[in-house]
Every structure is written in C-alpha cells, then in structure tokens.
Chains A and B, each alone.
Chain A
C-alpha cells in the first residue's frame, strides 16, 4: 500500500493530468467516440523524471498506463482511458479514469489537454482550471458549469465543449505549461540482433 501510494504521489506531481497541473474537470467528453482519431502514439514515452506512459490501442481510443521509475508491477500503475481528436488542426486528448469507475466520495471526470505529437516527442498542456474559472466568472454564459468551493466543473455537453475549445485554443493562457515526453526506443532482444 505504501509503495503504491508513493508512486501515486510521484505521478500526481509530474503527470500532465489533474491535480498538480490544475486541469479543469468536465462531466462530459470533449472527444466523442465517433470523433476519436488514431494517432501514432502506441508504445512507451518517458519524461525527464523517468515517468513512463505506455499507450495501447483499445477500441476507438487508448488505454494509458502511467508508472513512476521505480514501479515494476501492476500494483503501482495508474490506468486512464484516452481519446484523441482534432478541433480544427489542433490535436486534443480527453482523459478519464479507466472504465470510469467511481468510488464513494469521488466521481470520474474528463480532463482535456492540447497535444503536440511528433515522431518521438509528445507534449501535453492541460486546460487550466483557474483560467476557466476566471472566464466563467467574467461571463457566466460563456459555457455551462458549476462552481463549488470556488472550483469550476464544466457541465457543458460535448458539442458546446468543442465550440468553446475552438475559441479558447488560440489563447496560450488557457493551457498549463506543456509537459514533454520522449519515445522510449524499443528494446531489441539479443537473439534478434
């Protein structure tokens, strides 16, 4: 339990997803299943702190496994379901807990990130909750939402989210600092060399 917790904390503080990067949570998806696209992302990616991300195709999306550098078995892996899709020319990712299970006192939510994907380089920048909070406080009708404890939760449906994102994606302040991952080269078995 303790080891698992330690890895979870490590991941939470370096991953491009929720808490540390302050994503704006959403009840609804940005990328509908029908709009999901395949991207050349399968395989393992690592960041400068050796946080590993492994993508595996699953249906119209991907299952993402996140593990810290000391994580060797399944007990310390975080699993998320990810869909990629385009709004205009920009690639986005839509993350949610794997199989969207809920636990008492929590609820699965979507997190969105702007994605830059080159052959061996991957960048995520999440839609920032403080920016969204300021946006909806300034203009409450800009998108459907709820505010609880001064935190915003987006309640807009997918079509409205996409429309809003089209307006927002040109604003660099809407997204957090990008996190950079590089593709880990496949290990070639000795016998195959």
Chain B
C-alpha cells in the first residue's frame, strides 16, 4: 500500500517495522518540556545511508513540530511531519512522536492504518541527538513474563498499548534505564 509520506523514514529513522515501535493509542506526554532541539539535524552518510536524512524541529505551543525528509526531498509532499513532545522520567529525556494533526502530509488517514504514538529515549547534547525507540519485542516479553503490567491488546501477535498516559509514565519511569527496553540508537548531528 502507499506509504508515500514515510518513504524517507525507511532508511534512516527507519520504518516502524525496522524500528520495532511499540504503538500506543494514548500519548506518553500531553505537553512538552523545553529542550534545545530547535533547528536542523542530519544523519551521517554511510554504506546504508548514501543520502543524508534531514530533521527539522520547530517549537509550537505545547509541542515541537518535526519535519523529516531525505536529502533529495525538495517539496513538502515527500516529507513527513510529526508532533513531538519531550518529557523527563527518572531523570531521563523521552520523546512522544505522533503524526502531525494525526494524519500524513496530505491531510488524510492512511487507508488501512491508524495514527499512533511511538516513544523513544533521547540523548541530547549540543550537537548530537540520539533516539532509541521503546522496543515492542522487549515489551511483549516483559509482559509475558509478568515483569510489568500495562494495559494492551495482542493484535496479530503484536502488542498494541491501550494504557492511559498515567500508566505509561509509571511503567517507563520504572524501566527508563533498562538496557534492553529501547532499541538500537539512531544518531543525528546538528
């Protein structure tokens, strides 16, 4: 099916499947703390990323707006926009990503899919930004082994979080520093 808005994501911030996001219907944060993230960031070129991917953050009222695009993308119809809310749990910085206005850039919901929230642990220094997404396989295993309890649905073998914001914060506070809870790190430079 068409994933036009997400094609730039497939190779750097990577698609959900590669990223292994644990989707949530409810947000982790309903507003944002202020972080020095405004401006442009890029991935490094490499054998798997022949082109850089560009990320631009801009502060809005209660969130940051993120424009994500490949270096080749010159028009808005090939970028994807997210609303990003940052917050701190257990002294660590986290991000909550959701599609801007709940829809891709063309202003409609994707056929056969639904906008969700995805969460990442964030490391931010002056010129370096790292995201590690909450890993759905780890989450499923942790729930199966009763290491944690969080309202969810098992849909076609995958975990879909239906827990409230309060419960999400409670659990991520507890697991904020676990080395396996968050997937591989994607790094951006300013």
User: Which A residues have a C-beta under 8 Å from some C-beta of B?
Assistant: 1-2, 4-5, 7-9, 11-13, 15, 17-20, 25, 27-28, 66, 76-80, 95-98, 100-109, 111, 146, 148-149, 151, 153, 155
Contact = CB atoms under 8 A, between A and B. Distances in A.
Interface in B68-98: 75, 77-78, 80, 82, 97-98
Nearest to B97: A105
- Interface majority SS on B: helix, strand, loop or mixed? mixed
B3 interface: yes
B1 A79 contact: yes
> For chain B, which range describes its interface: under 10, 10 to 19, 20 to 34, or 35 or more residues?
35 or more
B113 to A, nearest CB: 4
Interface of B: 1-4, 6-7, 9, 13-17, 19, 21, 23, 25-26, 75, 77-78, 80, 82, 97-99, 102-103, 106, 108-116, 118, 153, 155-156, 158, 160, 162
B7 A19 contact: no
A9 B112 contact: no
7 contacts: A1-B78, A7-B2, A80-B112, A97-B112, A104-B13, A105-B16, A148-B26
B96 to A, nearest CB: 11
Contacts of B106: 5, 8-9, 12
A148 B25 contact: yes
Nearest to A110: B112
Given A2-B78, A101-B3, A101-B16, 9 more contacts: A2-B75, A11-B111, A19-B111, A78-B111, A80-B1, A80-B111, A97-B110, A108-B114, A111-B112
Nearest to A17: B111
Contacts of A8: 2, 4, 106
B130 to A, nearest CB: 16
A40 to B, nearest CB: 24
A146 B112 CA distance: 18
A136 to B, nearest CB: 14
B109 A102 contact: no
Nearest to A105: B99
